[in-house]
Amino acid sequence: MKININNVNINYEVYGEGTPIILLHGNSENHLIFDKLIEKLKEKYKVYAIDSRCHGESDNTEEINYELMAEDTIEFIKKLNIDRPILYGFSDGGIIGLLIAIKEPNLLSKLIISGANLNPKGMKKSMLFFSKVCYFFTKNKLFKIMVKEPNISIDELNKIVIPTIVLAGEKDAILKEHTELIASSIKTSTLEIISNENHGSYIIHSDKIYEIIQKYI
């Protein structure tokens, strides 16, 4: 399905009935990475799986940044009158989730993020170097946002008031101390590091993430 938000056609799919939960994918992906998670969630929840702008079947706009994607999601929730949904965001989706919780403190009922960062230095040096090399050679705007953004401050994190679950793989592309910093800066947070998993191994086309987040939702 398509919905026009901020003059952009955003693609999304809806599955199941029950408490609403929104799924946001990572950089260069689309909502289909959550296929196995959706199969589990739709038995108990109403799942909204979104393709962010410039991803999947949503419009490929000239401009993209995390602030715009956060505004898109905020307007998506308001336009569809979704009452205080849970939001689960992976990687870039987690960054977007943090920005939404900062901008609209009471829009969500709960936030769950996996492998998010506050700034590019939150990535391991190897991942940041790889992203910079890819951007240098391709000038791809999706790599650009990874090496230039986000820029979320600790003071902004302190504004988050909803229950927030901060997840990361033990072998994540995000530094462990950076994930711990995010969790410690949100008063309402719970931190869980997933053993023997990397950035997306327990999430992308995996039902492992269902068992993890089910504990919290």
Per-residue pLDDT, 27: 97
Measure the CA–CA gap between 217 and 209, rounded to whole angstroms.
12
Helix (H) or strand (E) holding 89: strand 86-90
Tell me the whole-structure pTM to 2 decimals: 0.97
Bridge partner list, 88: 23, 112
Measure the CA–CA gap between 170 and 107, rounded to whole angstroms.
31
Report CA-CA distances (Å) from 176 to 117, 123, 181. Answer: 10, 9, 9
Nearest to 72 by CA among 10, 14, 117, 28: 10
Helix (H) or strand (E) holding 170: strand 164-171
pLDDT less than 70: residues of the chain:
none
Type of residue numbered 162: I
Measure the CA–CA gap between 92 and 101, rounded to whole angstroms.
14
pLDDT digits (tens, 9 = 90+) for 119-135: 999 999 999 999 999 99
Nearest to 69 by CA among 113, 10, 29: 10
Nearest to 180 by CA among 122, 127, 107, 141: 122
Contacts of 108 (CB under 8 A, 6+ apart): 84, 85, 86, 87, 97, 100, 101, 162
Contacts of 144 (CB under 8 A, 6+ apart): 135
